[in-house]
Structure 1
Amino acid sequence: MYDIFAKIALSKIEEAINNGEFDDLPGEGKPVNLDYLVSIPPEMRAAYTVLKNSGVVPEEVHLLKQISELRKQLSACPEGESKNQLTKKLMDTEVKYKLMLETTRRKKR
């Protein structure tokens, strides 16, 4: 079943290329930035890409951005009370993210 759809899709893509429909598109010849996919589990990347292209950002992505930002702040923060607060906030955010992932995985079963 998949092979049929893959062949149809490839046929349509080749037809569009031959008709020049992909010529002069914005960003032509520039590398595609896929850095945002690094922190997303492989089994969820396709779904996140579709959501991102639709303008919808899941809560998990917001949490990943928060985690990344908190890690940057921690690395630049001197020892002391503020570093302890940042560490606690980072741990809380990571736990929340992991719980969301686990909930999603259980729903898929």
Structure 2
Amino acid sequence: MDYFQIISEDRIKKAYKDGEFANLPGFGKPLPPDELANIPEDIRMAYRILKNGGYTEEATKLRQEIVAIENLIAESADEVERANMQKKLNQKLLRYNSIMSRRGEQTNSSIFKNYSQKVMKKLT
């Protein structure tokens, strides 16, 4: 054991003796069930890392749909179809941004870039 680990262990033991952990939320209650319990143990850590990095299945699927819709908009010549696709894109982006904001992540999606471009056009 290194010196810092010994110091931290001593501080944790002292805090436990002083009762500093007694009023923590969930104290004495069982842990919530593991949502990745059905994944084999040897790859569970990789799934956790991906999930913590924002690569959930829902977010990944939404990102793929957003890219596909953006490509369709860029290739479309029909204005009505482009407007409908833009509405779909905005809905997907809002859903994606809400997922990311629940995680505390900032997103640099095209909807906000488009909005800032529109604001700049009006100002100039």
Q: Tell me which interval the TM-score lies in, with the shorter structure as reference length.
A: 0.3 to 0.5
Higher relative contact order (CA 8 A, sep 6+): 1
